[in-house]
Chain A
Amino acid sequence: MPKTKGRPPATPMQATGKIGLWGAPGSGKTTFLAALSIAANRASKMRDNRLLLFGADDASTDFLIQQTALLTRDMQFPRATDAEHHLNWVLRMNIAAPGRGFWRPTEAVPYEFELDVLDAPGGRYKDRSPGGSVGDDVQATNLRLFGSDTAVAAAPQATGGGESFVTDLAGCDGLVLLFDPAREWEESDAFSHFHGTLLKIAQRRLRDPARTTDLLPQYVAVCATKFDHNDVYRKACDLGFRSYSTGDRHFFPKVGDHLAERFFIEMGQVAPRSNAELIRDTLRNFFEEDRVQFFVSSAVGFRVDPDTGIFNEREFENVDERSGSKPRIKGPIYPINVIEPLTWLGGKLAAGRWAQ
């Protein structure tokens, strides 16, 4: 799509959308968000489609500034999330809109998307087994501890505790579900961080008398993360998923979008106890076919060889996990499929608005 340089700026069409991030602890939710700003800037350059991501309020701008500095200056990953975090960002991009004549079926129009992003600790998504934690009896527990009053919230829209975050998540227009293959091979708990939450979303949305569809209405971008991780990348190569883009000046390996769903399943199948395929089947069962899209992503991307300026198969990892107690980013980061899930969600939601 062309840039609009030299022309008077068109007033962007505007829409708002609430996006929820969903995934097990350590699946990279906060790192995904931290890398978004860098990803937007890199993607603008690569695709000649200007993507502007900026905060809609001071706290969200602070997050972008601090987290980008953490990744690029301090070469570190964000801290673990211990409380729900709300971010309000604006993503401005050009998207394909219905054209104004039969000879122009689509045209690029500037679109401004307000993202209300919810980042919750991964542990919140875990299914509670009977006799375990708060369990299914959350409401009863809250009633016993805090009275009938859910309005004791001091601040409007306050969250925290209980399962208010699930209600928040159920209210989202789009969901980004993160799946960490490396974690899955060790813990095989992706399904347990997925299934209970999905059912709670379904409970809140599918029983809503005002619903317009029998299936869940959200769009879901499923991201298999940490493609740059040594074990993940090697396995992708072994399974024949690796390809290269001819237009990429760094010659980064990638997994074609059409293979992303298969990659998701086969990466899961590496671990005998994994239920990755069941996650896919459940998603297909609860959401319309075209509302679920798979991506293979990496927040920090592959290392660029400083001598050649391109990907180096012999030293591709951009994260040093061995030389200290904390993993450290080695060099400049080139996020893979980090902004794309959001632009896909934005495009889908915008199209949905036009259809209305």
Chain B
Amino acid sequence: MTDLVTLQAGWALWSKQPGTRQDYSVLGCSPAPFNRGEFEAIITRFAVGSPDVTLTGAAALPWVTVSWVGVDNDQHIGISVTDHTGQVDGFGRTITQRAYFCVSYAQLSRTPISYCDLYDAVTAQAPALRVADGPMIQLTVPALSSDRLADAVRRAGEQTVMATAALLLSGPVSVVHAEGTSLRDRLEFIDAVTSLLPYGYRVRFSGTTWSDTGTKHRVRLAFAARPSEGAAVVPWRGPVEIPAGNQLSLAYCSRLRQLGQDPALSRGTPGLSAVIAQLAADGAARTFEQPQSAFDSLNRGDLPGLARWLAARGDLDADQRGYWASQLGRLRAYTPQAQAWLDTALLMVDGLPTALPPAQEAGAAVYGQALAEAWTELSDSYPAFSGESCAGGLARYLGGQHWTATNQQALAVTVVVRWLGDFDRQLVLGRTVASTLAATPAARDWDFAQDWLAWAAANEPEVIMGRLAAAQPGAAPGSLVELCAQAYRKGIDPDRALRALAKSGALTGEDLAFQVLAGLQQELAAAAADEDVANAWLFRFSELLAAGEFGIELGQRLRALVSERTRRDLWLELRFLEIFAAAGRDRECEWTSDEREELAAIAGEIESMLRKSRKFQLPKKLRNPFGGGPEEDVVRGGAGQAGEHGTVPVQGGPE
């Protein structure tokens, strides 16, 4: 059975005395909550045109306008019904009347009602209004039914209604092409649209079932024959386009669509009726100057959905990430699980968690487990999601927080980080925790910190240097790469670290050296190392290898290996270029001006490199170690002459 709400309504009747030459005015009103002049100000403020009583279709009377009035704690929702009177004024012009009613918002914020139900209640009262003042009237209105409103949303077209609600957050909206609709259709549309916004916006919302386009009215959602100037346009039940730059409306609409999906068909979505109920329950008064508050309200009950929505988008640029980081940063979660989902969403957009993990061990465990489960689910479902990236973001956040101030908070952080071990392959998070604990004298007395301190001690720079120097010949390439990576992470100078590795004699062959070089390159890229730092490591490694610091013969063998592979790759790439550039019956290459210019520059670069080079003869045993390869061709391309290794300059010299 539907709950009923009893409301005291103020009222005013706006019309003309028949046969007179006076203008429209308040002919009668209730003594509260406003006086006659105030009723006049309200009614004229939300006037939407001069109705033509002869018109038919959607423009025909009655016109229903919902509105608002009041500030602070004295806010009201208004509804007016403009209709025929069948009378004429002193100039013989037909007279219309506008019956205006208002009810206090304070009661509605606790027990929301729909505009359709309010309309039904006031139309039952309108005939009783008199041209003389009278008492306030009592309205009995059913409490809002989210199921009925969900049906209204579906009838009016979910996509259209959701987009209209989202557009209302950024400005007025005109609904056009609704000439064939009934008053009930249009009022239900207004109800459907507003049901997809937090109820609290009603203290600033206005809508009308028809308006005169020539009147520059103040109504936010208006049906009209033509769109109002500056209003977004929504065709009745038609496709609605939200401008690409309107990020909030786009996001709001997108989230509404996600949340409104049928729960039976889409796992974890609350469904349209639940979304409407949730928004209706959010009666905190707000204005459209706070549009982001709608997004907050929408997400409050479904932070997992928010994170999934972000993970599904996956294509955010830096501006969008910055925007969402600031938007999400204002949200609050009230359970460890909800906080885990919110923090996940924040980390996805390069934002930082809004708070440290719960300082209670149990809460931290729940939080850490929820994070791990969320990241696992998102990794499995959304290719764009990166748990490692989130771990890196969490490490950055912890690096800026004083989380070792108390034993409990520090314990909570370590509990969380242990849950995230699988997502911390680069040990970014682990190192942050270990090094912070190592820098905290009090941590030496904390039992839970001992393992971390030991791990940190094992990763001290001198320890790492010692391991590099003591690396055994024939060690697995992965372990050597990890040693170098540890040195990089500890900020050890590449020259110092690599010379220690060289002295160890661990690199015993050119293949192993090449694998370590390539592996280090990958490791630095995965660790998002600064490009200059990464280059310093890789170039220094190459230079030391080439200079024979890892052994003369190893350097020469590696040189031959690299040279061979690179030349082979160059030939391969050139062939690809040729294949794809061939066109026409003769299969001749076709190049654009840009391509031609760039290829000429590459050719010039090779030419210049050869001119500046000296001729060099590999030791016999190293010639063509992999077989094949047009070595002569490459040499032929240069201008070098015969000469001893490292002694004869190229003829002609540099240009």
Contacts and interface: CB of A to CB of B under 8 A. Distances in A.
Contacts of A84: 47, 215-216
A12 interface: no
A86 B21 contact: no
Given A82-B51, A123-B24, A162 B44 contact: yes
Contacts of B50: 79-83, 85
Nearest to A145: B69
A77 interface: yes
A124 B41 CA distance: 11
A26 B41 contact: no
The A interface is mostly helix, strand or loop, or mixed, namely: loop
A155 B217 contact: yes
B214 A87 contact: yes
Interface stretch (B218-226, B482-490, B635-643): B218-226
Interface stretch (B92-100, B184-192, B248-256, B264-272): B92-100
Contacts of B93: 26, 77-80, 326
Contact of B53 (A60, A79, A124, A158): A79
B559 interface: no
Contact of B91 (A58, A59, A133, A327): A327
B45 A160 contact: yes
Contacts of B557: none
Nearest to A123: B23
Contact of A82 (B24, B38, B216, B219): B24
B60 interface: no
A122 B20 CA distance: 14
Interface in B207-266: 212-220, 225-226, 228-231
B90 interface: yes
Interface string B278-321: 00000000010000000000000000000000000000000000
B37 A121 contact: no
A154 B214 contact: no
A78 B51 CA distance: 11
Given A85-B215, A142-B41, A161-B41, A321 B92 contact: yes
A62 interface: yes
B172 A134 contact: no
A147 B213 contact: no
Given A79-B94, A85-B215, A325-B88, A157 B229 contact: yes
In this complex, the interface size class of chain A, counting residues with CB under 8 Å from chain B, is 35 or more
A141 B41 contact: yes
Contacts of A78: 93
A141 B21 contact: no
A83 B71 contact: no
Contacts of A290: none
Contacts of B216: 84, 86, 155, 157-160
A58 B43 CA distance: 27
A132 interface: yes
Contact of B213 (A62, A80, A144): A62
Contact of B228 (A60, A155, A161): A155
- Which one of A78, A138, A154, A161 has the greatest number of beta carbons of chain B within 10 Å? A154
A355 interface: no
A340 B171 CA distance: 41
A77 B41 contact: no
A155 B172 contact: yes
A138 B40 CA distance: 11
A183 B92 contact: no
B91 A77 contact: yes
A183 B229 contact: no
A86 B95 CA distance: 21
Nearest to A88: B214
In this complex, the interface size class of chain B, counting residues with CB under 8 Å from chain A, is 35 or more
A175 to B, nearest CB: 19
Nearest to A168: B216
A135 interface: yes
A25 interface: yes
Contact of B90 (A26, A82, A124): A26
B46 A160 contact: yes
B217 A160 contact: yes
A156 interface: yes
Contact of B89 (A26, A83, A121, A157): A26
A63 interface: yes
Contacts of B219: 154-155
Nearest to A25: B23
A147 B41 CA distance: 13
A152 B204 contact: yes
Given A77-B92, A161-B42, A132 B47 contact: no
B511 interface: no
A315 B143 CA distance: 64
B630 to A, nearest CB: 72
B206 interface: yes
Interface in A24-60: 25-26, 58-60
Contacts of B16: 80
Nearest to B96: A82
A144 B70 CA distance: 7
- Which one of A59, A121, A162, A186 has the greatest number of beta carbons of chain B within 10 Å? A59
A317 B597 CA distance: 87
Nearest to A161: B45
Interface in B1-46: 16, 21-26, 34, 36-38, 40-46
A153 interface: yes
A233 to B, nearest CB: 18
Interface in B562-592: none
Contacts of B212: 83, 85
Given A80-B50, A161-B45, A134 B218 contact: no
B52 interface: yes
A288 B154 CA distance: 63
Contacts of A324: 92
Nearest to B95: A80
B470 to A, nearest CB: 73
- Which one of A63, A77, A124, A156 has the greatest number of beta carbons of chain B within 10 Å? A156
A257 interface: no
B37 A134 contact: yes
Contacts of B38: 134, 141, 144-145
Contacts of A141: 37-38, 41
Nearest to B25: A123
A153 B213 CA distance: 16
Nearest to B76: A145
Given A63-B214, A154-B220, A155-B216, A132 B92 contact: no
A326 B94 contact: yes
A325 B92 contact: yes
21 contacts: A26-B21, A77-B92, A82-B51, A83-B212, A85-B215, A124-B23, A133-B40, A134-B40, A138-B41, A145-B34, A145-B38, A153-B218, A156-B229, A159-B216, A159-B218, A160-B215, A160-B217, A161-B46, A161-B218, A162-B45, A326-B88
Given A59-B214, A82-B24, 6 more contacts: A135-B37, A141-B41, A142-B41, A145-B71, A153-B218, A155-B229
Sorted nearest first, the 8 A-B pairs with minimum C-beta distance are: A161-B45, A123-B23, A83-B47, A25-B23, A154-B220, A59-B213, A147-B71, A154-B172
